[in-house]
């Protein structure tokens, strides 16, 4: 049986100008929220118009508009394998985007929008002083396709290579979107989460590429031309992910972990032994390589360390 609708009371026109007992005069939106609440609200209002949803094939990601002419910063794995993507603004405007540069190691990509009329809202880039462990951070993106989703947390760690770690909730679809400081400046490009299993979800360990690395990438590639018509007919060739480890071929024990690699990101160490991928036992490094060359969106690595076994869930 359908539940009855809840009807709101109707105020008679004869009562206009009368303040009934127990009611107070309305207050402005600015005075309804204080302190941290007001900061959060202002960051979202300032930044969200410059955050976009990126559709590449069947996958969804996020991005940040960094120039009024339509240059978008996102993650390399968001657009991997595509020259052309669809970009949707917070207002619902649809653009064709052309991938003009990628950096797989740092997981960065630049997309140029086609057919932009007028000037688009943009996100400012933070400098080094705007990135400090312990500061409040804010993430905006399209997790699971829910555009404009806003989460908050703190900057938990800055790795020796400059990569950022946060406890702000980041989920599939947030990839490529902005991590912001309380001034609404972009401090990082959301990249991945660490989770102990496929059903565990976000446990408060997310990663972003620092804007300091992104600045160099942008400066080097922002004037790249869009693909020619011949290039647009065929997507770029890709080599798939590489994990960034040297393995003993007999035991699948890690001998070395490359700096700035995916393996370093997820905390693998020399001496760890790789047992399985997605529950399927590994017997040779070629099996792992073949799996990674299929460019998965996620995987579960079963790892043995000092007599203990754990599953590490990785979303790209």
Q: Which residues pair with 315 in a beta bridge?
A: 193, 298
In whole angstroms, give the CA distance from residue 243 to residue 268. 10
Q: What SS3 state is found at 310?
A: strand
| Catalytic status, residue 127 | no
Beta strands in the chain (DSSP E): 51-56, 59-67, 71-74, 84-88, 94-103, 108-114, 136-141, 149-158, 164-166, 178-180, 186-195, 206-210, 245-247, 254-257, 273-277, 280-281, 298-305, 308-315
Helix (H) or strand (E) holding 40: helix 35-47
Give the CATH class of 128-217: mainly beta
Cβ–Cβ under 8 Å, residues 231 and 246: no
> What would the pLDDT profile of 103-151 be if each residue is shown by its tens digit?
988 999 999 999 898 899 999 999 999 999 999 999 998 887 788 889 9
User: Annotated catalytic residue: which of 48, 62, 64, 77?
Assistant: 77
What is the chain's alpha carbon radius of gyration, rounded to the nearest angstrom? 23
Q: Which of 11-15, 210-214, 246-250, 259-263 has the highest mean pLDDT?
A: 210-214
CA angle 294, 297, 142 (to 5 degrees): 150
Pick the CATH number of 245-315 from 2.60.40.1120, 2.30.42.60, 2.40.420.20, 1.10.1740.10: 2.30.42.60
User: Annotated catalytic residue: which of 48, 62, 64, 175?
Assistant: 175
Mean pLDDT of 157-179: 89
> What would the pLDDT profile of 59-96 be if each residue is shown by its tens digit?
789 999 999 999 999 999 899 878 889 999 999 999 99
Give the CATH class of 47-114: mainly beta
pLDDT at site 248: 87
DSSP secondary-structure letter at 229? H
Mean pLDDT of 221-226: 87
Domain with CATH 2.40.10.10 in the chain: 47-114, 128-217
Domain with CATH 2.30.42.60 in the chain: 245-315
In whole angstroms, give the CA distance from residue 295 to residue 80. 9
pLDDT at site 310: 83
| Catalytic status, residue 175 | yes
Cβ–Cβ under 8 Å, residues 191 and 177: no
> In which residue are the tokens 């065929």 written?
234
Pick the closest to residue 295 from 255, 249, 238 (CA basis): 238
User: Annotated catalytic residue: which of 64, 103, 107, 195?
Assistant: 107
Contacts of 7 (CB under 8 A, 6+ apart): none
Q: Which residues of 272-303 are buried (b: 16+ CB within 10 A; e: fewer)?
A: bbbbbbeeeebeebebbeebbeeeeeebbbbb
pLDDT at site 109: 95
| Catalytic status, residue 94 | no
Percent above pLDDT 90 for the chain: 43
pLDDT at site 11: 29
Q: How far is CA 163 from the centre of its chain?
A: 13
What value does the mean pLDDT of the chain take? 80
Q: Which of 18-22, 27-31, 34-38, 161-165 has the highest mean pLDDT?
A: 161-165
- Give residue 24's pLDDT band: very low, low, confident or very high (50, 70, 90): very low
Mean pLDDT of 45-71: 92
């Amino acid at each position: 049986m359908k539940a009855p609708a809840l009807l709101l009371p109707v105020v008679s026109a004869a009562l206009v100008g009368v303040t009934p007992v127990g009611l107070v005069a309305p207050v402005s939106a600015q005075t309804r929220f204080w302190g941290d609440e007001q900061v959060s609200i202002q960051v979202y209002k300032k930044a969200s118009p410059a955050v976009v949803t990126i559709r590449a094939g069947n996958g969804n990601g996020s991005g940040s508009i960094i120039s009024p002419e339509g240059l978008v910063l996102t993650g390399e794995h968001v657009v991997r394998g595509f020259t052309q993507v669809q970009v949707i603004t917070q207002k619902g405007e649809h653009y064709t985007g052309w991938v003009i540069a990628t950096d797989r190691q740092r997981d960065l990509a630049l997309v140029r929008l086609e057919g932009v009329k007028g000037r688009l809202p943009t996100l400012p880039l933070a400098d080094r002083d705007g990135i400090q462990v312990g500061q409040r951070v804010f993430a905006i993106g399209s997790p699971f396709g829910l555009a404009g989703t806003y989460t908050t947390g703190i900057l938990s760690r800055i790795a020796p290579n400059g990569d950022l770690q946060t406890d702000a909730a980041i989920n599939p679809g947030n990839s490529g979107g902005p991590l912001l400081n309380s001034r609404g400046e972009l401090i990082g490009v959301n990249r991945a989460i660490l989770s102990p299993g496929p059903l565990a979800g976000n446990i408060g360990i997310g990663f972003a590429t620092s804007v300091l690395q992104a600045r160099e990438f942008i400066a080097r590639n922002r004037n790249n031309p869009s693909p020619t018509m011949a290039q647009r007919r065929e997507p770029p060739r890709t080599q798939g992910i590489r994990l960034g480890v040297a393995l003993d071929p007999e035991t699948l024990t890690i001998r070395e972990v490359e700096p700035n690699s995916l393996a370093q990101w997820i905390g693998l160490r020399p001496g760890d032994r790789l047992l399985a991928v997605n529950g399927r036992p590994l017997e040779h490094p070629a099996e792992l390589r073949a799996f990674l060359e299929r460019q998965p969106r996620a995987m579960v690595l079963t790892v043995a360390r000092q007599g203990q076994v754990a599953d590490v869930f990785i979303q790209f």
